[in-house]
Structure 1
Amino acid sequence: MAERPTTSWRHGIVEEAQEVAAGTLDPECACMAELYPEELLSATDAVLDAFEGELPGLGEARDEQVFAVVERVVLALNAVNDANNGGAFETDEREELCDYIDESLAEHGVDVTALTARQGLGPYQLTNKWRKW
């Protein structure tokens, strides 16, 4: 099952806090909690909850229906990013979120490679039309 990016971000926060507490990481070098404040994590999880709720049955759906689901999740993530001054999702986060979307669709029977090819898109361009992060 695809792992939500927020799960790994939360794990990184905990791991970093443990390193600071153990004295193996200088507190001035700790940045995970600042990069991923709880408000960002909660808002991102709410978007991903809604996305996951739309996944069942997409394997049999028309391309337009799949793209509509992708559009909704991307636009909602754009809103989360905008609410965080446009800097919530940088390169690493963007890649993780895009991978998560692709993997989640694939786990529900969507052939993402074929879907994008039918639309004249490359294999990693599923979210590009709407993504601002």
Structure 2
Amino acid sequence: MPERPTVGWRHHLEEQRAQLRAGTLRECEGWALEAYTDSFIAAADSALATFEQMLAQVDPQSDPAVLGAVQQVVLALNDINTNHNDASFDTDEREQLCEYIDEALVGAGIDTEALAARHGLKRWEITDRWRDW
């Protein structure tokens, strides 16, 4: 499986917390302090872990099963984005999440180009029908 985007988000958050404690960063300069919270990262990480578990069990030749897994993770991420008023998925996070979903599908043996084409989509559009973020 590819590295979850949450790993990088947590790293940025912890790095800026350390800089803040050391006095080398002013709070107003800490973009990660505003962009991420522990609960936001934990919720996203949990949704992605569940997606990974689903992919480990899905038949890569079953479009309904594969798209069901994608739908479930995207809807979970929609809820996280909506219900964490203290954080949200901005452009960078959206791109990272879409790339992660694509790489996870490929890692599970799914031909995402063919999957998308069978449904009249481009590869990068697989999440679009459910995605609010």
Matched residues, number: 133
Is the contact between residue 58 and residue 110 of structure 1 (CA under 8 Å) also seen in structure 2? no
- Give the % identical residues: 43
Query: Which blocks of at least 5 consecutive residues in structure 2 are unaligned?
Result: none
Deviation for aligned residue 1:36: 0.7
Q: Deviations over 1:73-118 (max 9, x none)?
A: 1011111111024961111111111111110111110011111111
Cα separation, 2, equivalents of 1:110 and 1:123? 12
Paired AA for residue 46 in structure 2: A
Question: Can you give the 5+ residue segments of structure 1 that lack an aligned partner in the other structure?
Answer: none
- Name the aligned partner's letter for residue 48 of structure 2: L
TM-score by length of 2: 0.89
Hey, what's the Cα distance between the residues in 1 that align with 2:112 and 2:22?
Answer: 44
Matching residue of 1:4 = 4
Moved over 6 A (4+): none
**Bigger mean CA offset, 30-39 vs 54-63:** 54-63
Cα distance, 1:53 vs structure 2: 0.8
CA contact (8 A) 2:60 2:108 kept: no
Does residue 97 (structure 1) correspond to residue 101 (structure 2)? The answer is: no
TM-score by structure 1 length?
Answer: 0.89
